[in-house]
Structure 1
Amino acid sequence: MTVTTTVPAPSAETHASAPAPRRRRGSLMRWFFVAPAVLYMLVFFGYPLVRNVIMSFQHYTPRTFFTGEAPFNGFDNWSGVFSNPLFTSSIWHTLVFTIGSLIGQFVLGLALAVFFARRFRLSGFVRAVLLLPWLVPMVVSAVVWRKLLDQDTGVINTLLMNTHLVDHPVPWLSSPTVALLSAILVNIWVGIPFNMVILYGGLQEIPRELYEAASLDGASAWRTFRNVTLPLLRPVITVVLVLGFMSTVKILDLILALTGGGPADSTQTLGTLTYQMSFQQLDFGQGAVVGNILILVSAVFAVFYLRANRSDFGQGK
């Protein structure tokens, strides 16, 4: 004879009635692991941000470092920045530089990622070589390109002249109409490896079966790319564009080493304007204003873009 004993399953009330000390201990452990990250963010991001906002409403000069006196001057710094013609032109230059760089980096990076997705001999070695522009410090890249783009002795003009593609040396860095384009081209060269690596990783996550099914259905290469690759790669594209915008809109070292913001302020961006006001004109209050605007632009772009593509992230999981 078999005796069957029924053991009641633990209910939600049983879990809810767990000892209070245990629940508190679990909560403390969670906060224990989160605390280092929170502390790091507060010290290295929160405090500088708050301090920069306060400084934008103060008359902050080099004398302040010795006396500690930074009188409140209201919106004088803000009105001074907005009435400065260089601020308006810097916004335009920042917009052109950012959009031009993002388009060039993304298109070429995606093309290289698709190319290397088809494995061939030495593909790994070639990809490693293409990573070099991303690994070299930005200042070093800018100095090298400054030599290459020199109007009189640069290799680029020498090559163009010898191949009879141009009749006169191109003033890559000395002409107000060409200097910004030169800075964009150099930044595209620097940013291509980052786009290629991230997009290449996203392509590897797309199931091969989808491409086989598209091939059996008679889809062309372009139609497969448009209807299979791009939709599944959209979450990765979102990340690439957001991170690319964040790193491009605030670029300082590349432009400083390449053109110094010139000629005739033709390559002056919000990043270089912040540097110029704070460390050349020693007007830390107005420099803080431009820095706050730059942070606000980045934050607004990130929030709106990520919210607009929230569904894409959900599909990519």
Structure 2
Amino acid sequence: MTITATGAATAGTRPPAERTTGGRGRGGGLLRWCFVAPAVLYMLAFFGYPLVRNILMSFQHYTPRTYFTGSSPFNGLGNWRAVFSDPLFTGSLWHTLVFTAGSLLGQFVIGLALAVFFSRRFRLSGFARAVLLLPWLVPMVVTSIVWRKLLDQDTGVINTVLTGLHLASGPVPWLSSPGVALLSAILVNVWIGIPFNMVILYGGLQEIPRDLHEAAALDGAGAWRTFRSVTLPMLRPVVTVVLVLGFMSTVKILDLILALTAGGPADATQTLGTVTYRLSFEQLDFGQGAVVGNVLIAVSAVFAVLYLRANRADFGRGK
């Protein structure tokens, strides 16, 4: 009986370590939240509030008068209907897709080719890589103005060289023809983005073990087969990062188009970013400008979700 009572008493008594575990767990959780709280507050203040405010503004009649009267009447879907029924919005959406796809393709292909080229060490390779970084370091507006001078139909250096080498029968209207202006903007943006792609992809190539390439060579795989079967699969996470960052910076581009063509000629280079600028800061219709801004946010969010789902699926297959 004594043993039974003692055992029962012992079973009913919690050890000191067990008694303090719950308190320590709650204290640790509170401490973790204290570290996370500044970042959460920052995100809510500088990202959450502007996003919510922009969504609300798209349903209001918001003009410069609002800043003096404080009145922004609810407009329902009026702003959305006005924007979606405007041919300028439809054209700008198409131009944005073409501009983004062309820029990403050109930047990635040329950047990857240069990364593979520089992965083979040679004399002055470091200096050459540093020189190729210059287009990415120069401010976008300065780059756009320089390229506008180079592509000028009458006095541009590029037309002078092309006609001098008899590669063109006459001056090419790079920025003054609706059929060529968007292509010119894509080429300039490709030139700007090549260094970023090259540097990131070059770093990814350096992380691939050389043993894999040697094993592929021993198996009789050629250079192209090795690149396709070994290099690209190993480089896939880096490629994903490059494409996502490139998409985010290209789909909302504004300063390049404004300085290069100002959306012309005949609205041939209008993108969602330039339409947002025109509606908000030229026509001073902030409600309709917020609508186009929300469309940009939605496009970026869809792309981000697809990227996260693809990465999660790859991680699941890897496990």
User: TM-score, normalization: structure 2?
Assistant: 0.92
Runs (4 or more) in structure 1 with deviation over 6 Å come to 13-16, 314-317
Contact 1:277 1:283 in 2 (8 A): yes
SS of corresponding position for 1:69: coil
Between Structure 1 and Structure 2, how many residues are aligned?
305
Evaluate the alpha carbon distance shift between residue 62 and residue 301 of structure 1 in structure 2; reply closer, same or farther with a 3 A threshold. same
| Amino acid paired to 2:243 | L
User: Within 1, Cα distance between the matches of 2:37 and 2:290?
Assistant: 29
Q: 2:270 aligns with which of 268, 271, 274?
A: 268
**1:30 pairs with 2:38:** no
| Amino acid paired to 2:283 | Q
| Amino acid paired to 2:265 | P
- CA deviation vs aligned residue, 1:164-184 (integer Å, no higher than 9, x gap): 111110000000000000000
Partner of 2:309: 307
Q: 1:236 aligns with which of 235, 238, 258?
A: 238
User: Within 2, Cα distance between the matches of 1:306 and 1:16?
Assistant: 40
User: Within 1, Cα distance between the matches of 2:36 and 2:117?
Assistant: 41
SS of corresponding position for 1:309: helix
| Amino acid paired to 1:203 | L
User: Within 1, Cα distance between the matches of 2:300 and 2:49?
Assistant: 18
Identity of aligned residues (%): 79
Contact 1:59 1:72 in 2 (8 A): yes
Q: Which has the larger radius of gyration?
A: 2
Question: 1:165-244 alignment to 2 at 5 Å?
Answer: 165-244=167-246
User: Within 2, Cα distance between the matches of 1:15 and 1:281?
Assistant: 69
Partner of 2:49: 47
| Amino acid paired to 1:217 | D
Question: 1:1-317 alignment to 2 at 5 Å?
Answer: 17-313=19-315
- CA deviation vs aligned residue, 1:170-226 (integer Å, no higher than 9, x gap): 000000000000000000001111111111111111111001111111110000000
Partner of 2:6: none
User: Within 2, Cα distance between the matches of 1:210 and 1:219?
Assistant: 11
| Amino acid paired to 2:71 | E
User: Within 2, Cα distance between the matches of 1:15 and 1:129?
Assistant: 63
User: Within 2, Cα distance between the matches of 1:107 and 1:17?
Assistant: 61
- CA deviation vs aligned residue, 1:272-311 (integer Å, no higher than 9, x gap): 0000000001110000000000100010011013312324
Evaluate the alpha carbon distance shift between residue 250 and residue 181 of structure 1 in structure 2; reply closer, same or farther with a 3 A threshold. same
User: Within 1, Cα distance between the matches of 2:17 and 2:171?
Assistant: 78
User: Within 2, Cα distance between the matches of 1:188 and 1:179?
Assistant: 14
Evaluate the alpha carbon distance shift between residue 85 and residue 25 of structure 1 in structure 2; reply closer, same or farther with a 3 A threshold. same
Evaluate the alpha carbon distance shift between residue 16 and residue 131 of structure 1 in structure 2; reply closer, same or farther with a 3 A threshold. farther
Superposition deviation, residue 83 in structure 1: 0.5
RMSD: 1.7
Structure 2: tracts of 5 or more residues without a match: 1-14
| Amino acid paired to 1:202 | G
Contact 1:179 1:263 in 2 (8 A): yes
User: Within 2, Cα distance between the matches of 1:55 and 1:306?
Assistant: 29
Evaluate the alpha carbon distance shift between residue 149 and residue 296 of structure 1 in structure 2; reply closer, same or farther with a 3 A threshold. same
Partner of 2:7: none
Structure 1: tracts of 5 or more residues without a match: 1-12
Contact 1:250 1:270 in 2 (8 A): yes
